[in-house]
Structure 1
Amino acid sequence: MATLSSCQCPGTGGPDGNNSILYSILKNDSLTTTGEQQTVAQPPPHRQQRVSRVSSCASLSSCSSSSSSSRLDLRQQQQACSCGSSRSRACLRSPQITCKAASAVLVKTLRFVKNVPCFHGLPEEDQLLLVRSGWAPLLVLGLAQDRVDFETTETAEPSMLQRILTGGCGGQSGLADRPGPGEPPAEQSAGVDGVSLSDIQGIKAFLKKCWVLDISTKEYAYLKGAVLFNSDLQGLRYLHYIQSLQREAHQALNEHVKLIYRGDATRFAKLLIALSMLRAIGPPVVTQLFFKPVIGSVNMEDVLLEMFYGK
Structure 2
Amino acid sequence: MSSSQPGSCPCQGAAGRPTILYTLLSPSVRDWPSVAPARGRCLCRQHRPVQLCTPHRTCQEALDVLAKTLAFRRDGRCRVPLFRLGLAQCTVPCQVAEVPMPSILKKILLEKPSSGAGSSQRPDRPQPSLAEVQWLQCCLESFWSLELGPKEYAYLKGTVLFNPEVPGLYASSHIGHLQQEAHQALWEVLEPWCPAGQSRLARVLLMASTLKSIPPSLLGDLFLRPVIGDVDIADLLEDMLLLS
Same fold (TM over 0.5): yes
How far residue 81 of structure 1 moved from its aligned partner, in angstroms, is 5.5
Return the alpha-carbon distance in structure 1 between the equivalents of residues 188 and 57 of structure 2. 38
**TM-score w.r.t. structure 2 length?**
0.65
- Name the counterpart of 2:97: 153
* Gap change, CA 1:199 and 1:239, over 3 Å in 2: farther
Q: Relative contact order (C-alpha < 8 Å, sep 6+): which is higher?
A: 1
CA distance in 2, matches of 1:214, 1:286: 23
Picking from 233, 236, 258, the partner of 2:191 is 258
- 1:208 and 2:152 equivalent? no
1:102 alignment partner, one of 18, 37, 62:
62
8 A contact 2:159–2:182 mirrored in 1: yes
Task: Check whether the contact 1:136–1:281 (CA below 8 A) recurs between aligned residues.
Answer: no
The 1:306–1:236 alpha-carbon spacing in structure 2 relative to 1, beyond 3 Å, is: farther
Distance 2:194 2:77 in 1: 31
CA gap of 1:91–1:263, structure 2 versus 1, over 3 A, is: same
Report the RMSD for the aligned CA atoms in angstroms.
Answer: 3.5
How much does 1:141 deviate?
1.5
Separation in structure 2 between the aligned mates of residue 264 and residue 81 of structure 1, nearest angstrom: 44
User: How far apart are residue 270 of structure 1 and its match?
Assistant: 1.4
Q: CA deviation at 1:137?
A: 2.6
- Aligned partner of 1:165 in structure 2 is none
The CA distance in 2 between the partners of 1:236 and 1:310, in whole Å, is 29
Q: CA deviation at 1:292?
A: 0.7
- Aligned pair partner of 1:297 in 230, 234, 241: 230
Code of the residue aligned with 2:60 in structure 1: it is K
* Structure label with greater radius of gyration: 1
Give ranges in structure 2 of 5+ residues lacking alignment: 13-43, 105-121
What SS does structure 2 have at the residue aligned with 1:153? Answer: strand
- Residues 1-311 of structure 1 correspond to what in structure 2 (within 5 A)? 79-80=8-9, 87-110=47-70, 113=72, 128=74, 130=75, 132-155=76-99, 191-262=124-195, 266-308=199-241
Q: Secondary structure at the match of 1:148?
A: coil
Deviation, 1:237, is 4.1
TM-fit CA distance, 1:271: 0.3
Inter-partner Cα distance in structure 1 for 2:139 and 2:8: 24
Question: Using the alignment, how far apart are the partners of 2:174 and 2:239 within structure 1?
Answer: 27
Give me the whole-angstrom Cα distance separating, in 2, the residues matched to 1:134 and 1:197: 27
Q: Which runs of 5+ in 1 are unaligned?
A: 1-26, 30-77, 114-126, 160-186
Alignment identity in percent? 35
Structure 2 letter corresponding to 1:276: S
User: AA paired with 1:240?
Assistant: S
